[in-house]
Chain A
Amino acid sequence: MPQITRLFIKSALFYFVAALVVALAIALNPLLALPRVVITLGPVYFHLLMVGWVTQLIMGVAHWMFPKFTRAKPRGYTWLIWTTFFLLNSGLLLRVVAEPLRALQPALGWGWLLALSALLQWLAGLAFVAHSWPRIKER
């Protein structure tokens, strides 16, 4: 299994646990007096699950299992998949921090971090598609 695939899958597993911990906090919130930030975590939970866990697992396994690009470059332009990994994770982590902060303190300019997070994740998606598209071929 390539190194970048291991990184994707281990990060995905981390996000899976994190997403369920956030879901647990949201479920406990009506019963316990948890910090006010918990009520803002709905979108964070869903994106930890769908981007951090599901999409990242798919990306790691796809890089590993999709048909070879060429004999000389079996997994294609690997810099693109490394770029995907760093853009996606920095974008997602930025969202996890910035979204609750913006909800609690909208006047403090946290919105720019959310915009940056959007840009990073969008570029990650484009990099993954550019990396994977040439490897989708008939045999």
Chain B
Amino acid sequence: MPRLSCWFIRAALIDLTLGFTFGALLLWHKGIPLHPMLWRLLPIHIEFLLLGWTMQLAFGVAFWILPRFQTERGNVALAWLTFGLFNTGVWLVGIGSLIDATGWLLLLGRISETAAVIAFVRHAWPRVKAPGV
């Protein structure tokens, strides 16, 4: 497994842990009320599990298994850029949903995530090819 895939997948596992923790607190609170503020964890629970866990795992596995050019994986810098931007975006959106009423952190986070996805598409597009090309 290439180094970048290790980073993607470990970050996805961290987000899975956090997302499940927030989700468990929410579900517990739904059954046995703890504190009404806990409902504010719902957006970060969704963000960490939908994007941080499932999407990020897909990035990591795709970088690992998509066809290569001989032994190379194409523009690896773009894939690293994806990793940095995507995780910055997920954390900005998550934290923004908790503490920022103005919406600026959410906006910055979504811009970062969108840039990450564009970088990943640019990286992955040429690797989606027939064998030997």
A binding-site residues for B, Cβ under 8 Å: 50, 54-55, 58, 66-67, 95, 98-99, 102, 110-115, 117-119, 121-122, 124-126, 128-129, 132-133, 136-139
Contact = CB atoms under 8 A, between A and B. Distances in A.
Contacts of A110: 31
Contacts, number: 77
B1 A128 contact: no
Contacts of A115: 27-28, 31-32
A111 B13 contact: no
Contact of A112 (B26, B31, B50, B53): B31
Nearest to A113: B31
B35 interface: no
Contacts of B6: 136-138
Interface of B: 1-3, 6, 9-10, 13, 16-17, 20-21, 23-28, 30-32, 49-50, 53-54, 57
Nearest to A128: B16
B3 A138 contact: yes
Main secondary structure of the interface of A (DSSP, over half): helix
